[in-house]
């Protein structure tokens, strides 16, 4: 497996991503994935509301943007999956190249820009899945949507995915969609949260709703959002998305430094956000994500107040074996 991962690194990152996931799909279809990547043996179930997670480890949004790999990823032993970010209309995202590896730091910088095949395509894949585990869907807005249209995009996504999602994540923190992080300011998130709350009540949607946060905001801004999450009775937050602070990277290529940084350099920054949220509101439900490569990293997220943990970059660097590594 390590040899195959090294071979994939010879390919451009975005092509390697597609090749690896399509290969995983093939292995799943022909029945080999369960032998090559046996699921973790240790049980560590966890329940929240009416959802029972077989363990506390999930895959973060962004790896499977369109729901193309739900069954194959679901066979690897994750306690839950999150797909997306999905937008109402298909969009190509930002110009390529837009994913960059930093091998020495076990890091990735991406500026993908919510590239996805659109809401109708994702829903078709979700409806045809065999995976029976917990599935979250991460929603966003199209790049050219501004003002009320941006809010309308979120509501359209919320309404259409609600029959199929075990939980919904509202992504207000991608650094690669212009002005999206402005939704961390009360004058901007208040209309969105209000509209989401109205939609949730109309649909009688009782499953969890999470807000995904940026690690680059001030403590005051985060405290304001946490207060609003409580006011609108959303379930909790995901901490965190990628960071635009690249001070931890040794490589100075400016072209590669535009975008969101994930991987090991994000660990401390995402932990600081998680700890700050937990200090602010001990009882708020939290999902920790950012820089988890070892069981020590995994447990640190739990110690800082997370009830669930997600991975992304470590899965890319280490492959499916990371699941058993973290859980056994």
Whether 140 and 84 have beta carbons less than 8 Å apart is answered as: yes
Is the pLDDT at 244 greater than 90, yes or no? yes
Confidence of residue 254 (pLDDT cuts 50, 70, 90): low
Let me know if 174 is a catalytic residue. Answer: yes
Q: How many domains does the chain have?
A: 1
Residue of 115, 3, 110, 123 lying closest to 70 (CA atoms): 123
- Among 40-44, 270-274, 311-315, where is mean pLDDT lowest? 40-44
Gyration radius (Cα) of the chain, Å: 18
Residues of the domain holding 30 = 2-327
Could you give phi then psi for residue 108, rounded to 5 degrees? -135, 140
Average pLDDT over residues 230-241: 98
Catalytic residue among 174, 214, 262, 270: 174
CATH number of the domain at 126, please.
3.20.20.70
Exposed, middle or buried: residue 254 (CB in 10 Å: 0-12, 13-18, 19+)? exposed
Confidence of residue 258 (pLDDT cuts 50, 70, 90): confident
Pairing verdict, β 134-139 and 80-86: parallel
Q: What is the pLDDT of residue 249?
A: 84
Residue of 171, 156, 159 lying closest to 60 (CA atoms): 171
| CA 189 to chain centroid | 20
Is the pLDDT at 173 greater than 70, yes or no? yes
Whether 290 and 271 have beta carbons less than 8 Å apart is answered as: yes
pLDDT for 50-69, tens place per residue? 999 999 999 999 999 999 99
Beta strands in 16-59 (DSSP E): 46-48, 51-53, 57-59
Question: Can you name the residues that pair with 311 across neighbouring β-strands?
Answer: 59
Q: How far apart are CA 29 and CA 47, in angstroms?
A: 30
Whether 201 and 165 have beta carbons less than 8 Å apart is answered as: no
Q: How far apart are CA 6 and CA 233, in angstroms?
A: 46
Query: How much of the chain, in percent, has pLDDT values that exceed 70?
Result: 98
More confident residue, 109 or 254: 109
């Amino acid at each position: 497996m390590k040899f195959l991962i090294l071979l994939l690194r010879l390919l451009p990152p975005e092509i390697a991503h597609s090749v690896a996931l399509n290969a995983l799909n093939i292995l799943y279809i022909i029945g080999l994935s369960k032998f090559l990547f046996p699921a973790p043996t240790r049980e560590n179930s966890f329940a929240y509301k009416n959802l029972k997670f077989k363990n506390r480890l999930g895959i973060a949004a962004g790896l499977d943007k369109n729901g193309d790999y739900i069954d194959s990823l679901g066979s690897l032993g994750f306690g839950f999956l999150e797909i997306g970010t999905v937008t109402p209309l298909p969009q190509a995202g930002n110009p390529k190249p837009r994913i960059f590896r930093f091998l020495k730091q076990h890091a990735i910088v991406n500026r993908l820009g919510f590239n996805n095949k659109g809401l109708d395509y994702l829903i078709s894949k979700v409806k045809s899945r065999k995976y029976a585990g917990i599935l979250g869907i991460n929603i966003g807005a199209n790049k050219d949507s501004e003002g009320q249209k941006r809010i309308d995009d979120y509501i359209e996504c919320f309404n259409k995915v609600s029959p199929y999602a075990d939980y919904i994540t509202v992504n207000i923190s991608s650094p690669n969609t212009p002005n999206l992080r402005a939704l961390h300011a009360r004058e901007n998130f208040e209309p969105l949260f209000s509209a989401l709350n109205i939609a949730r009540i109309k649909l009688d949607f009782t499953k969890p709703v999470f807000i995904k946060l940026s690690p680059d905001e001030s403590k005051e801004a985060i405290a304001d959002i946490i207060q609003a999450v409580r006011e609108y009775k959303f379930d909790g937050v995901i901490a965190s998305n990628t960071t635009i602070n690249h001070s931890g990277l040794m490589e100075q290529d400016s072209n590669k430094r535009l975008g969101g940084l994930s991987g090991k350099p994000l660990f401390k920054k995402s932990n600081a956000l998680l700890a700050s949220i937990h200090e602010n509101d001990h009882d708020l439900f939290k999902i920790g994500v950012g820089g988890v490569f070892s069981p020590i990293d995994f447990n640190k997220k739990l110690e800082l107040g997370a009830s669930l943990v997600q991975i992304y970059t470590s899965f890319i660097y280490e492959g499916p074996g990371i699941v058993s590594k973290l859980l056994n």
